């Protein structure tokens, strides 16, 4: 285990040169204090957990101190926002501090969000507020614990520095970890600015640093694109299966590694609602829960367009066609496991769809339904869950189909079934109201609730003593909270 000043750097992205990023120093925030650190994320850097309590830790992650080997840089990119191409994006308030190499030889980008203005800040102040930093921290670590690919969060620091949003708030910084911060929008930038050499340099960097297994293929760029399609399909399957809504699926928020990236007004579904829109400025529902699948495909098409200088159009088209079948297979596989099915039958898709329709009609809590389904033997579980449905005969019909379906798979002891289902059906979900409670306490200077919530969500599949309150349906005030898009 290492101390903070023992980290080793190898800044590959910085070495690509000034066409890709610009050197900018972090602008510190006043009177920094540590809100929370993730021990698991610290482990990725081989950092000793006790380091979080040192004064140096809060100083470094609030922009006051920097390693001599760090090379802080703002990256340039562009992207499609709500379907429109925006040529003018880039790190407007985040800096890539450098790439740490851990003992296992892995590279981890250290990205400090809220570090001040950069050449890409446009009208923005370069800052991030405490509430949005806490929301990104909690989501990154909670998604990871659920098995959903995501960037990670090392820590959040709070400060006295005032920032103005709808009201006056305080600036904070979040340290994000990811093997790469390259977005679909990076490729779009070099494609639309017609810089073929730089475009190829970017592709070669991503290939060698992040897709080494593709470099040996006959068509390395195509193999890499196929891998992006596969990873994105897998990520979206998990979002849909667990009811995660991203809210701002612009191509500048899509990671080339298929990681959930850039957390804004995201939400997990409480009651199941396919039409749910978590982003209140998304008037058309472009990024509604059920649209995430076609939008991911659309975003991959935008990336494919940006890769046409390197890959033949027909090959790109073929690779794109893999997306939907890959998504469907992965989604159905996970939904089968959530229902406790160990075999695969043709009708399983219909069984899932029919259940979701019933849940939608009765506003049933999405994640708790599956947890409760697995906690008792199937017969009694169905009987108990029946009370949550308005359309009783509809649910009875589904319950009969489900029990018939279970009868066609091997018998097992109830405890075995429960253990298997609990391992894929979380008891604790990052509900908006839970995050809201933690944020309000943190804004008043009490960080204990953020820390408790993070701890509960780090182990979402196992019941934890004294944490029943985190495993309930939201109170009325906590449903459909309006989460501000400003951050």
Binding to ligand AMP by CB under 6 A, coded x per residue (else -) over 44-83, reads: ----------------------------------------
Q: Does 38 bind Mg ion (CB under 5 A)?
A: no
For Mg ion, the binding residue among 99, 141, 234, 262 (CB under 5 A) is: 262
For ligand AMP, the binding residue among 73, 80, 93, 231 (CB under 6 A) is: 93
Q: How far apart are CA 260 and CA 149, in angstroms?
A: 6
* Contacted by 124, from Mg ion, ligand AMP, none: CB < 5 to 8 Å by type: ligand AMP
Q: Does 87 bind ligand AMP (CB under 6 A)?
A: no
Q: Does 253 bind Mg ion (CB under 5 A)?
A: yes
Residue showing the smallest CB distance to ligand AMP in the complex: 124
Binding to Mg ion by CB under 5 A, coded x per residue (else -) over 211-250, reads: ----------------------------------------
Q: How many CB atoms are located within 10 Å of the residue 182 CB?
A: 22
* Contacted by 247, from Mg ion, ligand AMP, none: CB < 5 to 8 Å by type: none
Span interacting with ligand AMP, options 123-131, 140-148, 170-178, 406-414, rule CB under 6 A: 123-131
> Is the Cβ of residue 220 or residue 247 nearer to Mg ion in the bound state?
247
**Among residue numbers 15 through 34, which ones bind ligand AMP (CB under 6 A)?**
none
Q: Is the dihedral of CA 137, 141, 144, 146 positive or negative?
A: negative
Q: Does 90 bind ligand AMP (CB under 6 A)?
A: yes
Q: Is the dihedral of CA 24, 209, 320, 338 positive or negative?
A: negative
> Is the Cβ of residue 296 or residue 359 nearer to ligand AMP in the bound state?
296
Q: List, in sequence order, every residue forming a beta bridge with 208; answer none if it has no partner.
A: none
- Quote the DSSP letter at residue 226: H
Beta-strand pair 244-245/79-81: unpaired
Q: How far apart are CA 236 and CA 251, in angstroms?
A: 14
For ligand AMP, the binding residue among 92, 147, 309, 414 (CB under 6 A) is: 92
Q: How far apart are CA 265 and CA 466, in angstroms?
A: 29
Residues near 324 by beta carbon (within 8 Å), at least 6 away in sequence: 233, 293, 297
Asked whether 172 and 156 are in contact (CB, 8 A), the reply is: yes
Q: How far apart are CA 203 and CA 209, in angstroms?
A: 10
Span interacting with ligand AMP, options 21-29, 41-49, 65-73, 87-95, rule CB under 6 A: 87-95
Catalytic, 396? Answer: no
Nearest to 177 by CA among 280, 67, 245, 101: 101
Estimate the crossing angle of helix 323-338 against helix 414-422, to 10 degrees.
Answer: 140
Q: Which residues bind ligand AMP (CB under 6 A)?
A: 89-93, 120-121, 124-127, 248, 253, 262, 264
Catalytic residue list: 252
């Amino acid at each position: 285990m290492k101390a903070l000043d023992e980290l080793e750097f190898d800044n590959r992205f910085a070495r690509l040169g000034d066409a890709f990023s610009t050197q900018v120093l972090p602008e510190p925030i006043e009177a920094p204090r540590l809100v929370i650190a993730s021990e698991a994320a610290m482990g990725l850097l081989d950092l000793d957990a006790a380091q979080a309590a040192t004064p140096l830790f809060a100083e470094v992650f609030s922009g006051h101190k920097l390693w001599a080997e760090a090379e802080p840089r703002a990256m340039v990119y562009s992207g499609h926002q709500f379907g429109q191409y925006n040529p003018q994006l880039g790190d407007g308030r985040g800096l890539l501090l450098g790439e740490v190499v851990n003992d296992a030889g892995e590279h981890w980008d250290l990205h400090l969000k809220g570090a001040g203005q950069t050449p890409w800040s446009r009208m923005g102040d370069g800052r991030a507020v405490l509430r949005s930093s806490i929301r990104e921290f909690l989501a990154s670590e909670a998604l990871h614990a659920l098995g959903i690919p995501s960037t990670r969060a090392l820590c959040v620091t709070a400060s006295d520095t005032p920032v103005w949003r709808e009201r006056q708030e305080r600036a904070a910084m979040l340290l994000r970890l990811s093997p790469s911060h390259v977005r679909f929008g990076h490729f779009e930038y070099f494609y639309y600015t017609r810089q073929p050499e730089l475009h190829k340099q970017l592709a070669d960097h991503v290939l060698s640093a992040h897709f080494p297994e593709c470099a040996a293929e006959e068509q390395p760029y195509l193999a890499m694109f196929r891998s992006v399609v596969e990873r994105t399909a897998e990520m979206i399957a998990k979002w849909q299966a667990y009811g995660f809504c991203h809210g701002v699926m612009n191509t500048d928020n899509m990671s080339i590694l298929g990681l959930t990236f850039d957390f804004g007004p995201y939400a997990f579904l409480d009651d199941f609602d396919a039409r749910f829109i978590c982003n209140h400025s998304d008037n058309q529902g472009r990024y509604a829960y059920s649209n995430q699948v076609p939008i991911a495909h659309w975003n991959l098409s935008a990336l494919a367009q940006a890769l046409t200088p390197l890959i033949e159009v027909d090959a790109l088209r073929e690779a794109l066609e893999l997306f939907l079948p890959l998504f469907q297979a992965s989604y159905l596989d996970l939904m089968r496991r959530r229902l406790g099915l160990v075999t695969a039958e043709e009708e399983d898709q219909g069984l899932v769809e029919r259940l979701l329709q019933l849940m939608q009609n009765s506003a049933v809590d999405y994640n708790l339904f599956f947890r409760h389904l697995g906690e008792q033997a199937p017969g009694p579980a169905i009987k108990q869950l029946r009370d949550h449905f308005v359309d009783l005969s509809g649910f009875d019909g589904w319950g009969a189909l489900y029990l018939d379906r279970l009868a066609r798979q091997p018998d097992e002891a109830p405890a075995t079934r429960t253990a298997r289902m609990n391992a894929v059906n979380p008891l604790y979900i990052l509900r908006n109201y839970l995050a809201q409670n933690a944020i309000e306490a943190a804004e008043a200077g009490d960080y204990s609730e953020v820390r408790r919530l993070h701890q509960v969500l780090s182990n979402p599949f196992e019941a934890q003593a004294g944490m029943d309150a985190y495993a309930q349906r939201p109170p009325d005030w906590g449903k459909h909270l309006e989460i501000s898009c400003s951050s």
